[in-house]
Amino acid sequence: MAVVMNVAFPYEIDGRGRTSETAEDTHVRDLVAQVLFTAPGERVNRPDFGCGLLRLAFEPNSDALAATLQLTVQGSLQQWLGERIEIETVQVEHTEATLRVTVAYRIRRSGRREVATFEEER
């Protein structure tokens, strides 16, 4: 049986001088955040990785922006994390200067359901 190590994000060294680890649900939430906040082209060896949420955060708030973000987020999460999670819903809310993305998903390995909300103020 393989040992699964869930590396903490952001990367850090623990008190023993080793790579910090975290619980699986926290690790998966960190992976979701990485997909959302990484812009395509930002990673040298994975130029397609990410959905560019921050790039779109500076666009004028509108229903069209929310719909675009919803599709972009869901597609990117399915592409990059589809083997680890099953996306249940993606909700995008925009109010004045705040963009809020809520992702409900199920961790495939454990069957555990999680909801993660990410906010960006503009």
- pLDDT band for position 108 (cuts 50, 70, 90): very high
Query: Where does the pLDDT of residue 57 fall: very low under 50, low under 70, confident under 90, or very high at 90 and above?
Result: low
The pTM (predicted TM-score) of the whole model is 0.84
CATH of range 24-121; options 3.10.450.40, 3.30.1330.120, 3.40.50.720, 3.30.530.20: 3.10.450.40
Helix axes 63-81, 24-37, angle to 10 degrees: 130
pLDDT of residue 30: 92
pLDDT band at 22 (very low <50, low <70, confident <90, very high): confident
Q: Which carries the bigger pLDDT value, residue 99 or residue 47?
A: 47
Task: Find out whether 113 and 105 touch, Cβ atoms under 8 Å.
Answer: yes
Dihedral pair phi/psi, residue 62, rounded to 5°: -165, 165
Residues 6+ apart with CB under 8 A from 53: 36, 37, 69, 72, 73, 101, 118, 120
pLDDT band at 117 (very low <50, low <70, confident <90, very high): very high
